[in-house]
Amino acid sequence: MAKHGGLHKMMDVDLPILTDSGGFQVFSLKKSQVDEEGVTFAYEVDGKKTFLSPENSMEIQQQLGADIAMNFDECLAFGIDKTAAVASVDRTARWAERCKKAHTRSDQSLFGIIQGGFWPDLRARSARQITDIGFDGYALGGLSVGEGHQKMCEVLDYSVDPMPVNSPRYLMGVGRPLDLVEGVARGIDMFDCVIATRHSRSGMFYTDKGRIRMTDKRFRNDMYPPDTSCQCYTCTRFTRAYLHHLFRVGEILAATLTTIHNLTWYASFMARMRQSIVDGTFESYRQWVHEIYPEKTEGSSKGDARRSTGKNVKKRRK
């Protein structure tokens, strides 16, 4: 990638790109060892031992040349005990200092990641530590790790306010429609998630009427567009029956066409959300999302599925 001149030139994409530091990716591995210097883990393909530190994470990301790089952090697992969480939060802060020192590329923004698990005092502690170091933007890590929608909203209620209002606020790994609108309601500006592509591979279409799965046999002879209200490449050219056929025979084009639609829908979903803030109709938009994508369909944990009220959308600078 460095020989190409970075990700933009390699992919021929003139759009903003963000790269993660590897912290969450290491967290997702079954066998990894964490110490003060960094993380040692086994490469899943051949078992080769690999070491990742704040310094070589910065080196890699600077060579990748994304517009935004993330500092190397330790992602906390859901259910970790508080003593271990305190040690992890402080280690993340020390790693963040090393990342900032190692990051020298002036045309690339560097974001700090706030951890702290599910304790208000640790979230506040991490926010003070990371903001005192000073970054171009700030992210909340350690959510969307199995805690469910309600718990995520609870954590956001006490985690967002300590983040600087004049810097981008980024919620990592969150992309379900209900989570997005509730994150925005609490002052979040940026999100990332694999849902638009991962769910596409199983035939899941996101629409203004909810999710539909194109692999259902009821679509076998359906001549309507996948989403009758969408004007994307997929929905203006192909039928539900054709998409259903592609999935039945295992053709990779099925995932590609579904991804095109889902990316189009998510872009429109967020654009309309931004416009509702400008128009002063965000609460109506928020209610609509709750009706179309209620918590029980969002893959949340069992329990109370009542609507989370949260805070009114925060006034932000343009």
One domain for residues 106 and 162: yes
303 belongs to a structural domain = no
One domain for residues 50 and 119: yes
Query: What's the burial of 228, exposed, middle or buried (CB within 10 Å: 0-12/13-18/19+)?
Result: exposed
37 belongs to a structural domain = yes
Among 201, 261, 194, 177, CA closest to 226? 261
CA 12 to mean position of chain CA atoms: 23
Contact predicate 125/7, CB 8 Å: no
One domain for residues 163 and 210: no
pLDDT recorded at residue 44 = 72
- Give the global pTM: 0.87
Sign of CA dihedral 89, 95, 97, 99: negative
pLDDT recorded at residue 168 = 97
Q: How many domains does the chain have?
A: 2
Helices and strands, counts by H and E, the chain: 12, 11
One domain for residues 101 and 201: no
Question: Would you name the residues annotated as active-site residues?
Answer: 20, 192
One domain for residues 207 and 112: no
What torsion, rounded to 10 degrees, do the Cα atoms 90, 95, 97, 98 define? 150
307 belongs to a structural domain = no
Provide the β-strand partners of residue 103. none
The CA distance from 16 to 223, in Å, is: 37
Domain-ending residue, one of 155, 178, 193: 193
Task: Give residue 53's domain range.
Answer: 7-193
Q: Going from the first residue of the chain to its last (318 residues), give the mean pLDDT of each consecutive group of 10, the final group possibly shorter.
A: 93 95 75 84 80 94 96 82 92 97 97 94 96 97 84 94 95 95 97 95 97 97 97 98 98 98 98 98 98 74 32 40
74 belongs to a structural domain = yes
pLDDT recorded at residue 306 = 28
pLDDT recorded at residue 147 = 82
What letter would DSSP give residue 237?
Answer: H
- Residue 267: count other Cβ atoms within 10 Å of its Cβ: 12
Side-chain half-sphere CA neighbours of 59 within 13 A: 5
One domain for residues 132 and 27: yes
- Residue 288: count other Cβ atoms within 10 Å of its Cβ: 15
Among 159, 169, 80, CA closest to 126? 159
318 belongs to a structural domain = no
Helices 120-133 and 82-102: crossing angle, nearest 10°? 10
One domain for residues 89 and 26: yes
One domain for residues 176 and 47: yes
15 belongs to a structural domain = yes
306 belongs to a structural domain = no
- Which element (helix H / strand E) includes 140? strand 137-140
Q: Parallel, antiparallel, or unpaired: how do β-strands 190-191 and 169-171 relate?
A: parallel
What letter would DSSP give residue 315?
Answer: P
Phi, psi of 31 (to 5 degrees): -120, 110
- Which element (helix H / strand E) includes 121? helix 120-133
Q: How far is CA 213 from CA 122, 134, 200, in A?
A: 41, 44, 9
The CA distance from 285 to 279, in Å, is: 11
311 belongs to a structural domain = no
- Radius of gyration, alpha carbons of the chain: 21
Query: In the block, which residue shows the tokens 């070491």?
Result: 51
One domain for residues 120 and 257: no
Total residue count of the chain as it appears in this document: 318
pLDDT recorded at residue 49 = 85
The CA distance from 303 to 296, in Å, is: 9
One domain for residues 172 and 33: yes
State the chain's maximal CA–CA distance in angstroms: 60
